[in-house]
Amino acid sequence: MNIVAFIAGILMIFAITTNTLSKKHLSDGFVSRSFSGYMKSSRKATNEYERYCFDNLKESVKSKQRTTADREKPSEDKKEKTREIHIENAKINIFQLVIDKKEKQKDTYNLIASLIKTLYSNQSFYKKGFEKDILNNILVAFENQIKKKQNLNFETLILKDGSLKNIYYKIIKGTKFYDFEKKIGCPSILDFVKVENSKEQIPMKDASKEFLITFFDKKITKEISALQIEYPPKNLTLQNVLSICQKNNLPIDENDLKLFDFSNSMYRSNEKTFVGFDKNTDIKCKIKLPVS
């Protein structure tokens, strides 16, 4: 018997067996990592849903406590039915600004900075340029949350500028009583801004006066507010808003209003998509869950 051929055969069998086991190990490892990535991204998506439900619960309670200047006093005379404006449904989303940076989202950056000025220009802590200082610090803090693979959350942000720490806490918390028109109290920025991985438009029918004044002006806001409380708000259309702007000599076109949703259905979609992402495996999980 040729001993060389025998040894060569044994080595070939060993090589084939080793190669098979190696491929199986790699395959098992890939399946294991994929499953782990899916479970992690699924958990993150579920966490987003739970946080959304919790935040909505807080906003619902807070909205009942807010005092509003435009709420009419009850009278004995029969009045036409009006709708209540739900500003908690009409927050501007900062998410894309956080991801793309202000260089690519200049319009969004300037709009949010202007909104901050509208909200806090009458507060004792306000000084010239405050809106950009605080917004820049917020964006940097969100970048740090991303680097640390944390969930994006206003309430857990750590600002780089320590001198803004107490002020940031105040604008996050707000005061129990707040009235924009009467300049009473301090608003919570969480009533007007959110960070959420979605591209939902702002429903015009629920946009706050603070946001409308920032985007348009006081005269136009007054006319839009009158259309908002109609039940249903059937006259709050894109064309009517453009006409109001034209009448008040504000140069604006349809592209400028893409931020807004002019759908005036009294009911919002009862489902929402939540996204989770595992950076270690680049696996993204989307889940659609019911919301109230």
pLDDT one-digit tens code per residue, 1-16: 567 777 777 778 877 8
> What was the pLDDT predicted at 3?
76
> What was the pLDDT predicted at 78?
47
The number of folded domains in the chain is: 1
> What was the pLDDT predicted at 77?
47
Instruction: Determine which helix (DSSP H) or strand (DSSP E) holds 19, and give its type and residue range.
Output: helix 3-65
Q: Which residues of 121-131 are buried (b: 16+ CB within 10 A; e: fewer)?
A: eebeebeeebb
Q: Which residues have a Cβ under 8 Å from the Cβ of 257 and sit 6 or more positions away?
A: 238, 241, 242
Q: What is the pTM of this model?
A: 0.66
Asked whether 216 and 222 are in contact (CB, 8 A), the reply is no
Task: Return the minimum-mean-pLDDT range out of 70-74, 236-240, 269-273.
Answer: 70-74
Does 125 fall in a domain?
A: yes
Q: Which residues have a Cβ under 8 Å from the Cβ of 243 and sit 6 or more positions away?
A: none
Decide if pLDDT at 142 tops 50.
yes
Does 68 fall in a domain?
A: no
**β-bridge partners, 17:** none
Task: Return the minimum-mean-pLDDT range out of 20-24, 46-50, 100-104, 107-111.
Answer: 20-24
CA distance 150 to 113: 25
Higher-confidence residue: 284 or 10? 10
CA distance 55 to 41: 21
Does 115 fall in a domain?
A: yes
CA distance 127 to 125: 7
Distance of CA 18 to the CA centre of its chain: 52
Q: Hey, how many other C-beta atoms are within 10 angstroms of the C-beta on 275?
A: 15
95: left (phi over 0), alpha (psi -120 to 50) or beta: alpha
Asked whether 176 and 66 are in contact (CB, 8 A), the reply is no
Q: Which residues have a Cβ under 8 Å from the Cβ of 149 and sit 6 or more positions away?
A: 279
Asked whether 95 and 151 are in contact (CB, 8 A), the reply is no
Does 238 fall in a domain?
A: no
Instruction: Determine which helix (DSSP H) or strand (DSSP E) holds 284, and give its type and residue range.
Output: strand 283-290
Decide if pLDDT at 74 tops 70.
no
Asked whether 154 and 190 are in contact (CB, 8 A), the reply is yes
Instruction: Determine which helix (DSSP H) or strand (DSSP E) holds 192, and give its type and residue range.
Output: none
pLDDT band with cut points at 50, 70 and 90 for residue 79: low
The whole-chain average pLDDT of the chain stands at: 85
What residue has token string 């803090």? 141
CA distance 89 to 228: 13
Region 21-27 average pLDDT: 67
- Which residue range forms the structural domain that includes residue 98? 84-200
Asked whether 186 and 171 are in contact (CB, 8 A), the reply is yes
Asked whether 175 and 186 are in contact (CB, 8 A), the reply is yes
Does 20 fall in a domain?
A: no
Does 70 fall in a domain?
A: no
